[in-house]
Amino acid sequence: MKKIYYPLACCLIGGMLASCGGGAKKQNVTEESTPTTVTLSYSKSLKGAETDSLTLPIDADGYITIFDGTSLDGWRGYGKDQVPSRWTIEDGCLKFNGTGTGEGQTGEGGDLIFAHKFKNFEMELEWKISKGGNSGIFYLAQEVTSQDKDGNEVLEPIYISAPEFQVLDNANHPDAKLGKDNNRQAASLYDMIPAVPQNAKPFGEWNKAKIMVYKGTVVHGQNDENVLEYHLWTKQWTDMLQASKFSEEKWPLAFELLNNCGGDNHEGFIGVQDHGDDVWFRNIRVKVLD
């Protein structure tokens, strides 16, 4: 059974988030009774049900801390039952220790997910990239497998089911000049929508990231500015996919999954990418907007 206990309900009004009045999900709480923890369910293995649970801190504004700098409880490798060894905690940060192999992920690496599926939410975190580094933040991800020509089950990459908030050293990584209209630079919806303004800080400096998903509306924020907005499950979304590397012609499975992003329940995992380079994340927190 999926255990989720949230103290607040929120709604979207004129593009801004606000507390909803009169909803059954909102509790009448006093300062003394405001919950300080929340229980989330999570899955321990590939496609596993969320049968395990953990208790995490939640602040007065409803933000759940899913990485506090000391523990990786609730996290595991994408398609794995444990945290790959190249993901470590360093000085209160979640760090990927680079391999230098780009997308050629090694056995001790791979993408990392927080193994609880979120639906409508706002996520905040900070990231820092190494010189010439590349990474990403995924949301609404599914763990997808297919069969190879011999009938063996193969794990598909996370990015064929999940939109990606690009993490990049814009000045030194060649991907910054690829794509179209800078749509592979930091905070962009990778290969589809550029972040405007492009306000990322240089490698080695911390950047703030914010991602809001609410009933199909998605907003990326970077360093306290909203830099893009788009709408899932619309003709606009389908047209963007068709114009990208994930088009129906170029990559039919990716197109099918992304066009119905989040699956039938419109929910999925949050993940961070192993792209072979050193990258750091900290202060990862999520506010549920259901």
Q: What is the pLDDT of residue 241?
A: 96
- In the prediction, which pLDDT does 262 show? 97
Inter-axis angle of helices 252-259 and 235-242, to 10 degrees? 160
Separation of alpha carbons 43 and 175, rounded Å: 34
Q: Residue 43: how many CA atoms within 13 Å on its side-chain side? A: 20
| Residue 252 C-alpha from the chain's centroid | 23
pLDDT 10s per residue in the chain (290 long)? 444 544 333 444 334 443 333 333 333 434 456 789 999 999 999 989 999 999 999 999 999 999 999 999 999 999 999 999 999 999 999 999 998 888 778 888 999 999 999 999 999 999 999 999 999 999 999 999 998 888 899 999 999 999 999 999 999 999 999 989 999 999 999 999 999 999 999 999 999 999 999 999 999 999 999 999 999 999 999 999 999 999 999 999 999 999 999 999 999 999 999 999 999 999 999 999 98
Domain ranges of the chain: 58-286
pLDDT above 70 covers a percentage of the chain that reads 89
Q: Where are the beta strands (DSSP E) in 142-278?
A: 145-147, 153-155, 164-168, 207-214, 217-222, 225-231, 268-272
Residue 271 neighbours by CB distance under 10 Å: 25
- Residue 32's pLDDT is 54
User: DSSP 3-state assignment of 141?
Assistant: strand
Give the pLDDT confidence score for residue 102 in this predicted structure. Answer: 80
CATH class of 58-286: mainly beta
Residue 197: asked if its preceding bond is cis (omega within 30°), the reply is yes
pLDDT at 265: 95
Place of tokens 């690009």: 166
Taking the C-alpha atoms of residue 158 and residue 217, their distance in angstroms, rounded to an integer, is: 21
Specify the pLDDT at position 33. Answer: 66
If one counts every other C-beta atom within 10 angstroms of the C-beta of residue 155, the result is 14
